[in-house]
Amino acid sequence: MSPSSVPSVLFVCVHNAGRSQMAAAFLTHLGAGHVQVRSAGSAPAHTVNPAVMEAMSEVGIDISAETPKVLTTEAVQSSDVVITMGCGDACPYFPGKRYLDWQLEDPAGQGVAAVRPIRDEIERRIRGLLTELGIKAAA
């Protein structure tokens, strides 16, 4: 697949420390290089949620090196699909972009037991997104 034909997906939540980090990690892992993946937050935290890191580690995905990033207009402009996760009106809107809003519980302040069902739902949605994009999920 040539770089110009690789779809670009941006995940946005408020702190970029939980939901959007899990979604980006799953899409990077399951998309196996066939999708350009970004994540950002409208008010990024200083670190990724430790319970989120642990929950992802349980499924073999290490996100310990990730850091929350600030949402920029450029990130939205350069993405084909923008998936928001509770960022409200903080995400800039540009015509021609595909926007999805995934209503997911916020893992902030929760332990790993509460994060697991959120993680599993995100994985299910990522697999559906890959199907919609015509990309076979990696094993």
Residue 62 has which token pair?
Answer: 């290490």
> In the annotation, is 13 catalytic?
yes
Q: Which of 87, 115, 122, 137 is catalytic?
A: 87
Annotation marks residue 116 as catalytic? no
Q: Which of 13, 40, 52, 137 is catalytic?
A: 13
Buried b (16+ CB within 10 A) or exposed e, 86-110: bbeeebeeeeeeeeeebebebbbeb
Catalytic residue among 10, 52, 91, 104: 91
Q: Which residues are catalytic?
A: 13, 87, 91
